[in-house]
Amino acid sequence: MSILEVKNVGKRFGGLQALSDVNLSVAENSVHAIIGPNGAGKSTLLNCLVGKLIPDTGSVMFDGQSVLGRKPYEINQMGISRVFQTPEIFGDLTVMENMLIPCLAKRDGAFQLNGWSRVVGQRDMIDKAEEMLRDMNMIDKRHMPAASMSRGDKRRLEIAMCLAQDPRLLLLDEPTAGMARADTNNTIDLLKQIKDERDITIAIIEHDMHVVFSLAERITVLAQGTPLVEDTPDRIKGHPKVREAYLGESQDAA
């Protein structure tokens, strides 16, 4: 049973065909990685899934409903959460407030004019947020401004914020980019834990093969805006086309 169906998606920027004829099917409760050399169109594809870009052709169905033409916040409310390459959190707010916001967004929807009720009165939301923070080992940081945390902590906070919404699909855009090895491994462990504990589908865009092969159940290789192959990690490893695409890249780079 697939939760995300991408069919014949194409996107053109001026003279550049960023995506052409992309077909992708992500099975429910799986971890699906999308890999590919630089400029393969990974980020463009991701942006088409979350409503930041609208593809020129094709369709994107999430759980049987089209996401095309919907705003990012509407798509999020459908159950897709996104983790950014550089952590996007509310830097001026405390860690606790960062956690409360997605909890409230899940409960109250896209807009709520509750100027008279009190944050401290939202006991159930606070409990939920504290529980999430405890799971992430960040409870002692709850009064810190989020911007003052380390990069690894910001990443974990962002993932926790996404999880607080109980999304059905979690999209990760190079979640370990620019991270030290230890932080990368921590993130991998965290994602593994999430996968084991929750009914959640994870789609991950990644450059780091170590991350991809430790997590993914299926891998789609994207090159020049088109899916090259889609298979299990073991078979992707030795696939001649994949080697060619990556070798090609390294030759270009040299």
Q: Which residues bind another protein (CB under 8 A)?
A: 50, 71-74, 76-77, 81-82, 84, 88-94, 97, 100-102, 104-106, 108-122, 145, 147-148, 161, 165
Rank residues 40 and 103 by Cβ distance to another protein and give the closer one: 103
* φ and ψ of 187, to 5 deg: -65, -40
Tell the smallest beta-carbon distance from residue 20 to another protein (Å).
22
Distance CA(23)–CA(8), nearest Å, equals 5
Rank residues 91 and 248 by Cβ distance to another protein and give the closer one: 91
Tell the smallest beta-carbon distance from residue 38 to another protein (Å).
17
Helix (H), strand (E), coil (C) string for 122-176: CHHHHHHHHHHHHHCCCHHHCCCEHHHCCHHHHHHHHHHHHHCCCCCEEEEECCC
Tell the smallest beta-carbon distance from residue 128 to another protein (Å).
14
Site of tokens 């865009």? 205
Tell the smallest beta-carbon distance from residue 74 to another protein (Å).
8
Tell the smallest beta-carbon distance from residue 250 to another protein (Å).
24
Tallying the residues shown for the chain, one arrives at 254
Rank residues 38 and 117 by Cβ distance to another protein and give the closer one: 117
| Amino acid occupying residue 127 | D
Q: Point out which residues pair with 65 in neighbouring strands.
A: 62
| Amino acid occupying residue 26 | V
Two tokens, residue 215:
């997590």
Rank residues 30 and 77 by Cβ distance to another protein and give the closer one: 77
Rank residues 53 and 188 by Cβ distance to another protein and give the closer one: 53
